[in-house]
Structure 1
Amino acid sequence: MATFATFRDFYPFYLGEHSDVRCRRLHFAGSVLVLLAIALAVTTDTWAWLWLAPVGGYGFAWIGHFVFEKNRPATFQHPLYSLMGDWAMFWDILRGRVTLR
């Protein structure tokens, strides 16, 4: 796997690894679950909800990669940039820059 000097260099590669819309949908759903788990933990003062954050976030994303994309998640080689890419893509989906269709 290539090395990247900056996140700006990495992000186009990251988007290319998510060309299947079903993978992007699963990433989006996982990110929503992460936000919900954090919100539940904070609003209910029940920190056990936080275990759902990585399970939902990574679980949904990895299913998308292994089942639909047929590739290996970038998390394994670029964990920080991959996490940043998840949230950049989530934001780009919300703004309509990346499609779920």
Structure 2
Amino acid sequence: MPPQTFDSYEEFWPYYVAMHSRAATRWIHLAGTLTGLAVSAYGLARGRRRYALALPLIGYGTAWPAHFLIEKNNPATFGNPAWSLRGDAQMIRMMLAGRDDELARTAAEWLAENR
């Protein structure tokens, strides 16, 4: 798929979700992000600032292989880092709110229209 360009986050969002079309990818993102947050928070609470590195290391360290191995695509972060970070937060909030089915529908609709 050629690189995508977007004029707004709202235009980017369905693409971002489509790059996470498989539930396993979304759940690996959630697990990596929450684990990274927990380790970072623990370290910071203990006065160990280097633990703040756990969030990007664990978060990206689990998410990126999921793209290569499960989705067979490149992470959206490579082309749109700020919007991808925002998208990850939105995706995780939706999953924690029990809205994973909505994410699956958004991904399927975007892929049907753009492949």
Q: TM-score, normalised by structure 1?
A: 0.91
Instruction: Provide the secondary structure at the position in 1 that maps to 2:5.
Output: coil
Contact 2:44–2:52 (8 Å) recurs in 1: no
d(CA) in 1 for partners of 2:15 and 2:31? Answer: 21
Counterpart mapping for 1:43-58 below 5 A: 43-58=45-60
Counterpart amino acid of residue 84 in structure 2: S
Structure with bigger gyration radius: 2
Q: How many residues align?
A: 101
Deviation of 1:43 after TM superposition, in Å, equals: 1.3
d(CA) in 1 for partners of 2:8 and 2:35? Answer: 28
Instruction: Provide the secondary structure at the position in 2 that maps to 1:42.
Output: helix
Please name the residue that 1:64 is paired with: 66
Deviation of 1:3 after TM superposition, in Å, equals: 1.3
d(CA) in 2 for partners of 1:51 and 1:35? Answer: 10
Instruction: Provide the secondary structure at the position in 2 that maps to 1:33.
Output: helix
Q: Does 1:36 align with 2:38?
A: yes
Counterpart amino acid of residue 48 in structure 2: T
| Matching residue within 69, 73, 76 for 2:75 | 73
Which stretch of structure 1 is more off in the superposition, 36-45 or 64-73?
A: 36-45
Which stretch of structure 1 is more off in the superposition, 28-37 or 71-80?
A: 28-37
Deviation of 1:38 after TM superposition, in Å, equals: 2.6
Identical amino acids, percent of aligned pairs: 37
Please name the residue that 2:12 is paired with: 10
d(CA) in 2 for partners of 1:3 and 1:34? Answer: 29
Instruction: Provide the secondary structure at the position in 2 that maps to 1:26.
Output: helix
Structure 1, gaps ≥5 residues long: none
Structure 2, gaps ≥5 residues long: 102-115
